[in-house]
């Protein structure tokens, strides 16, 4: 089967969607399909169709869009302009990774709310024609799909296919060390400030360091905030892959503090669970559905502080959550299962 994956960005550009598309394309190619990727950027061992684009607010605008030929066109949104250009292609499968909710601060700059609302409206005006004409729409969790103000109009052609990780890459037997881990971009909408506030309380009574892996426009501001709050925090920046896996496998627990619907799944939760590292995540749709497989959810900074202290003081509980998380990844979030589901969807539309 000739399949084209259409993604606004592609690795080494960093992001959960980018990672998902790369692994999906590689997995399908390994199963004997003829797979191409169309993107504004990236590197890949397979066929990468580079589309010249202007980058506008994390949404590449194609300058020239080539004619693409395939048995199945599979677009990934948000950043809908590529999918919009292909809205009449058939059969067209669209993975709707998350709603667009413009953060108050982008790249360190505050955005007036009327301007942000206008961007969200423009995005929806582009997305809806894509979804109207798509043969199948995929969401990564049922809870996110049911609460999306956009997807609620398309449940009749919706399928749930989660994200996945290659569980064999993640060790299960590393000795846990006394640190809480955050891993992700250093951007305002990720909610790292709330984690710093929680850890300022935790460290008054517990010998727990905070390790933050990742980079972004708000890193300097967050480092200064940690100093002001007297939080013992280590900002590592981006880590090489093997070092990142080692760091996540040794953590006592991982926290995903994002409260914005831009975080719809949290692949990093799967990575932690694969290492038997328990997870704590803010109670938002999609993320909560994943986190509860190998950890707990919370609804306030105070509750987060309490849960961190409870888990720190209860090693059997941490071990139980770790075992449960690893089992969930093996059974529900493996690439074999995801690829089986994707192939079934492709066969249904061709």
How confident is the model over 228-274, as pLDDT tens digits?
Answer: 999 999 999 999 999 999 999 999 999 999 999 989 999 999 999 99
pTM of the model: 0.92
The encoded tokens of residue 118 equal 């206008």
Q: What is the mean pLDDT of residues 276-292?
A: 97
Over residues 154-187, the pLDDT tens digits come to 999 999 999 999 999 998 877 999 999 999 999 8
Residue 111 has pLDDT above 80, yes or no: no
Residue 340 has pLDDT above 80, yes or no: yes
For residue 302, the model assigns a pLDDT of: 97
Query: Where are the strands (E) in 107-232, listed by range?
Result: 109-110, 136-139, 158-160, 179-183, 209-213
Query: Where are the strands (E) in the chain, listed by range?
Result: 2-6, 34-39, 47-50, 53-56, 59-62, 72-77, 92-96, 105-106, 109-110, 136-139, 158-160, 179-183, 209-213, 233-237, 253-256, 279-282, 295-298
The encoded tokens of residue 252 equal 């006592």
Residue 27 has pLDDT above 70, yes or no: yes
Confidence of residue 317 (pLDDT cuts 50, 70, 90): very high
Confidence of residue 102 (pLDDT cuts 50, 70, 90): confident
Percent of all residues in the chain with a pLDDT value above 70, rounded to a whole number: 98
Q: What is the mean pLDDT of residues 55-61?
A: 79
Alpha-carbon separation of residue 264 from 15, 182, 271, 314, 347 (angstroms): 12, 17, 16, 29, 27
Q: Which domains does the chain have, with CATH numbers?
A: 2-164+334-349 (3.40.50.2000), 167-332 (3.40.50.2000)
Average pLDDT, the chain: 93
For residue 79, the model assigns a pLDDT of: 85
Over residues 215-236, the pLDDT tens digits come to 988 999 999 999 999 999 999 9
Q: What is the mean pLDDT of residues 31-35?
A: 97
If one counts every other C-beta atom within 10 angstroms of the C-beta of residue 207, the result is 10
Confidence of residue 112 (pLDDT cuts 50, 70, 90): confident
Q: What CA–CA distance (Å, rounded) separates 162 from 265?
A: 8
């Amino acid at each position: 089967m000739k399949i084209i994956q259409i993604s606004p960005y592609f690795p080494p550009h960093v992001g959960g969607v980018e990672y998902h598309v790369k692994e999906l394309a590689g997995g399908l190619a390994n199963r004997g399909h003829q797979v191409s990727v169309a993107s504004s950027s990236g590197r890949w061992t397979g066929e990468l169709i580079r589309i010249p684009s202007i980058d506008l607010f994390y949404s590449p605008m194609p300058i020239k869009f080539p004619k693409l030929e395939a048995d199945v066109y599979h677009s990934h949104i948000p950043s809908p302009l590529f999918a919009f250009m292909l809205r009449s292609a058939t059969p067209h499968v669209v993975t709707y990774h998350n709603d667009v909710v413009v953060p108050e601060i982008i790249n360190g700059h505050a955005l007036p709310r009327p301007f942000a609302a206008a961007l969200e409206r423009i995005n929806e005006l582009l997305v809806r024609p894509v979804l109207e004409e798509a043969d199948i729409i995929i969401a990564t969790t049922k809870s996110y799909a049911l609460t999306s103000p956009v997807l609620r109009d398309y449940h009749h052609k919706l399928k749930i296919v989660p994200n996945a990780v290659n569980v064999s890459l993640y060790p299960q037997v590393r000795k846990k060390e006394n640190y809480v881990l955050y891993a992700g971009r250093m951007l305002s909408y990720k909610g790292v400030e709330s984690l710093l506030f929680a850890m300022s309380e935790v460290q008054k009574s517990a010998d727990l360091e905070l390790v933050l892996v990742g980079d972004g426009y708000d890193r300097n501001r967050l480092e200064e905030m940690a100093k002001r709050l007297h939080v013992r925090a280590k900002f590592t920046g981006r880590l090489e892959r093997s070092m990142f896996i080692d760091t996540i496998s040794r953590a006592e627990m991982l926290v995903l503090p994002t409260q914005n619907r831009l975080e719809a799944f949290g692949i990093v939760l799967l990575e932690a669970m694969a290492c038997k590292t328990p997870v704590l995540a803010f109670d938002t749709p999609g993320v909560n559905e994943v986190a509860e497989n190998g950890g707990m959810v919370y609804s306030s900074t105070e509750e987060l502080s309490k849960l961190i202290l409870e888990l720190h003081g209860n090693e059997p509980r941490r071990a139980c959550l770790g075992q449960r998380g690893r089992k969930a990844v093996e059974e529900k979030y493996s690439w074999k299962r995801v690829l089986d589901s994707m192939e079934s969807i492709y066969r249904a539309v061709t």
